[in-house]
Amino acid sequence: DTGVSQNPRHKITKRGQNVTFRCDPISEHNRLYWYRQTLGQGPEFLTYFQNEAQLEKSRLLSDRFSAERPKGSFSTLEIQRTEQGDSAMYLCASSYPTGTGRTEAFFGQGTRLTVV
Protein backbone atom coordinates (compact mmCIF):
# COMPACT_ATOMS: atom_id res chain seq x y z
CA ASP A 1 0.00 0.00 0.00
CA THR A 2 1.73 3.12 -1.24
CA GLY A 3 -0.72 5.78 -0.13
CA VAL A 4 -4.18 7.22 -0.58
CA SER A 5 -5.59 6.46 -4.01
CA GLN A 6 -8.34 8.44 -5.73
CA ASN A 7 -10.20 7.62 -8.92
CA PRO A 8 -10.78 8.98 -11.41
CA ARG A 9 -8.07 11.63 -11.56
CA HIS A 10 -10.10 13.79 -13.89
CA LYS A 11 -13.82 13.94 -14.65
CA ILE A 12 -15.64 16.15 -17.11
CA THR A 13 -19.40 16.05 -16.90
CA LYS A 14 -22.36 17.95 -18.22
CA ARG A 15 -24.40 20.07 -15.87
CA GLY A 16 -27.20 18.07 -14.34
CA GLN A 17 -25.41 14.72 -14.49
CA ASN A 18 -24.46 12.66 -11.46
CA VAL A 19 -20.85 11.82 -10.70
CA THR A 20 -19.19 9.49 -8.21
CA PHE A 21 -15.62 9.54 -6.96
CA ARG A 22 -13.79 6.83 -5.09
CA CYS A 23 -11.10 7.02 -2.43
CA ASP A 24 -9.03 4.12 -1.13
CA PRO A 25 -7.27 5.12 2.09
CA ILE A 26 -4.08 3.72 3.53
CA SER A 27 -5.14 0.30 4.75
CA GLU A 28 -4.58 0.69 8.48
CA HIS A 29 -6.12 4.16 8.63
CA ASN A 30 -9.57 4.26 10.20
CA ARG A 31 -10.28 7.95 9.57
CA LEU A 32 -11.14 9.24 6.13
CA TYR A 33 -11.79 12.84 5.10
CA TRP A 34 -13.13 14.59 2.02
CA TYR A 35 -12.10 18.13 1.15
CA ARG A 36 -12.89 20.41 -1.78
CA GLN A 37 -10.30 22.75 -3.24
CA THR A 38 -11.05 25.47 -5.76
CA LEU A 39 -8.35 27.06 -7.86
CA GLY A 40 -5.95 29.18 -5.83
CA GLN A 41 -7.60 28.39 -2.52
CA GLY A 42 -6.91 26.12 0.41
CA PRO A 43 -8.88 22.90 0.81
CA GLU A 44 -12.23 23.15 2.60
CA PHE A 45 -13.54 20.35 4.77
CA LEU A 46 -16.59 18.46 3.52
CA THR A 47 -17.03 15.37 5.67
CA TYR A 48 -15.21 12.77 7.72
CA PHE A 49 -15.61 9.12 8.66
CA GLN A 50 -14.27 7.06 11.48
CA ASN A 51 -14.49 3.50 10.25
CA GLU A 52 -17.92 3.29 8.57
CA ALA A 53 -19.55 6.03 10.65
CA GLN A 54 -19.90 9.48 9.11
CA LEU A 55 -19.15 11.67 12.12
CA GLU A 56 -19.23 15.18 10.73
CA LYS A 57 -20.54 17.01 7.68
CA SER A 58 -19.77 20.56 6.68
CA ARG A 59 -22.49 23.02 5.74
CA LEU A 60 -20.76 23.02 2.34
CA LEU A 61 -22.14 19.52 1.81
CA SER A 62 -25.52 20.28 0.29
CA ASP A 63 -28.30 17.74 -0.18
CA ARG A 64 -26.89 16.96 -3.62
CA PHE A 65 -23.75 15.54 -2.03
CA SER A 66 -23.58 12.17 -0.34
CA ALA A 67 -20.63 10.21 0.97
CA GLU A 68 -20.40 6.63 2.09
CA ARG A 69 -17.77 4.36 3.53
CA PRO A 70 -19.19 0.84 3.57
CA LYS A 71 -17.31 -1.60 5.80
CA GLY A 72 -14.93 1.15 6.84
CA SER A 73 -12.66 0.67 3.86
CA PHE A 74 -12.94 2.71 0.65
CA SER A 75 -15.23 5.71 0.40
CA THR A 76 -17.36 7.20 -2.35
CA LEU A 77 -18.48 10.77 -2.82
CA GLU A 78 -21.47 11.28 -5.09
CA ILE A 79 -22.68 14.58 -6.47
CA GLN A 80 -26.16 14.58 -7.95
CA ARG A 81 -27.43 17.08 -10.51
CA THR A 82 -24.02 18.71 -10.87
CA GLU A 83 -23.75 22.47 -11.20
CA GLN A 84 -20.93 24.56 -12.62
CA GLY A 85 -20.10 25.70 -9.11
CA ASP A 86 -19.20 22.11 -8.24
CA SER A 87 -16.13 22.34 -10.47
CA ALA A 88 -13.19 21.86 -8.14
CA MET A 89 -10.53 19.42 -6.97
CA TYR A 90 -11.95 16.86 -4.55
CA LEU A 91 -9.31 15.62 -2.12
CA CYS A 92 -9.42 12.58 0.07
CA ALA A 93 -7.20 12.09 3.10
CA SER A 94 -6.80 9.38 5.70
CA SER A 95 -5.28 9.15 9.15
CA TYR A 96 -4.92 6.85 12.12
CA PRO A 97 -5.27 8.35 15.58
CA THR A 98 -2.46 7.64 17.99
CA GLY A 99 -2.74 7.44 21.77
CA THR A 100 -2.73 11.22 21.92
CA GLY A 101 -5.68 11.30 19.52
CA ARG A 102 -3.85 13.11 16.80
CA THR A 103 -2.00 12.07 13.72
CA GLU A 104 -1.11 13.61 10.40
CA ALA A 105 -3.42 13.25 7.44
CA PHE A 106 -2.11 11.71 4.23
CA PHE A 107 -3.69 13.07 1.07
CA GLY A 108 -4.48 11.50 -2.26
CA GLN A 109 -3.81 13.20 -5.58
CA GLY A 110 -7.39 14.32 -5.89
CA THR A 111 -10.13 14.11 -8.49
CA ARG A 112 -10.50 17.21 -10.63
CA LEU A 113 -14.12 17.75 -11.61
CA THR A 114 -15.10 20.04 -14.44
CA VAL A 115 -18.79 20.69 -15.00
CA VAL A 116 -19.59 22.07 -18.46
Residues that bind other proteins (CB under 8 A): 3-4, 31, 33, 35, 40-45, 48, 55-56, 91, 93, 95, 97, 101-110
Q: How far is the CB of 43 from other proteins (least distance, A)?
A: 5
Q: Which is nearer to other proteins, 14 or 39 (CB)?
A: 39
Q: How far is the CB of 4 from other proteins (least distance, A)?
A: 8
| The residue type at 103 | T
Per the CB < 8 A criterion, the answer to whether 89 and 73 are in contact is: no
Query: Greatest CA separation found in the chain?
Result: 46
Q: Which is nearer to other proteins, 41 or 73 (CB)?
A: 41
Q: Which is nearer to other proteins, 71 or 102 (CB)?
A: 102
- The H or E element containing residue 10 is strand 10-13
Per the CB < 8 A criterion, the answer to whether 66 and 47 are in contact is: no
